[in-house]
Amino acid sequence: MRRAVAGLGAIAALAAVLAAPAAGAEHDPRIVGGEIAQPGAYPWAVSRSEAGTEGPAGHGCGGSLVSATMVLTAAHCVGGITPDDVDAVVGRDRLDDAADGERVDVTRYALHPGQFDLALLELGTPVSQPPVGLATLAEAALFAPGETATAIGWGLRSENGSAPSNDLRQVDVPIVGDADCRSAYRGFARIQPSSSICAGSAGHDTCSGDSGGPLFVHDASGTPLQVGVTSFGRGCARARFPGVYMEVPAALDFVTDPDPVFAPIPERRLAKVRGTSRVGEPLTCDEGAWAGEDIKFRYRWFGGFRPAPVGREREFTPGEGLAGKRVNCEVLAHNEGGFVPLVSLPVRVHGNG
């Protein structure tokens, strides 16, 4: 994924299920108009990859190492999945070079509890690569409008590209002022200056597959400092639309939190329908056992071919209209750190005669 003006889809889905207001924005991620990074230049670069899948085919999003056991990425890259679904590939320049860098299990993840498209991935094993430096608000002059920043990632090299880059790539992009960015996206997305940085120009941008990756500047000594996380944009490298990045200095409390609230983790991968599947007999949506803090659950039942839910409680009693049809339940577990949906296998409802 990239900065997808389709990218905050998972978070928007949660908002819809929880009946919370959602801000619309398409999301698509990438590196366009850049060049291949020098080998070893960015040992803290991370590929959030499909578990067990090597090479570009497994790459989904970017990220950055912020401590020996924590990766910073975009919330829309992980919201709604379980840690078993993804690995973190750290310190690898070419995605097909399995001998380079480290591939580590992700044990838990935490989404930013506010309006930032940010997430932290906890690694099962500490890695040897050094973390990236993080800019602070006191260093705002380094990422002021007109300054140049650098984005890196394995995303598409053009808006119509079909596959992630095998090589880690970099591109220099100019920082765009808040007013100009809001004007560009008026009617397409809501830009929040307090949480975002805009950067890019015609022909130079991130693209699909770069979501979650870092935007950074250099201090007076040449040390890279991360200032942004690739979030979304309209198209890739279009003249009117710079990329939108979550501002890291404005969210340092979350990024450096040693004990964030992590998303729920299910003991099993399916919900289960319990009870006698017969008209007039109550069924229960069994969510199973979960690990996590302050978990709450929402339930939905679906029956026949109706796209809309036929029930929204943990218990559901099918009526005559569902006789002979299949029903299944969906449970959404959520807390401050994230959300995970589970769906049951369908069961057939038997009639009374």
Catalytic center residues? 76, 117, 211
CA-CA distances (angstroms) from residue 110 to 74, 92, 292, 336?
10, 24, 11, 8
Residues in the chain: 353
* Amino acid residing at 313: E
- Give burial (CB, 10 Å; 0-12/13-18/19+) of 32: buried
Q: How far apart are CA 77 and CA 2, in angstroms?
A: 9
Cβ atoms of 171 and 205 closer than 8 Å = yes
The neighbour count for residue 222, using CB atoms within 10 Å, is: 6
Alpha-helical runs (H) found in the chain = 9-17, 178-185, 252-255
Between strands 224-232 and 133-134, the pairing is parallel
Calculate the CA 180 to chain-centre distance. Answer: 26
Calculate the CA 236 to chain-centre distance. Answer: 18
Q: What's the angle, vertex CA 16, arms to CA 12 and CA 20, rounded to 5? A: 95
Q: How far apart are CA 182 and CA 188, in angstroms?
A: 10
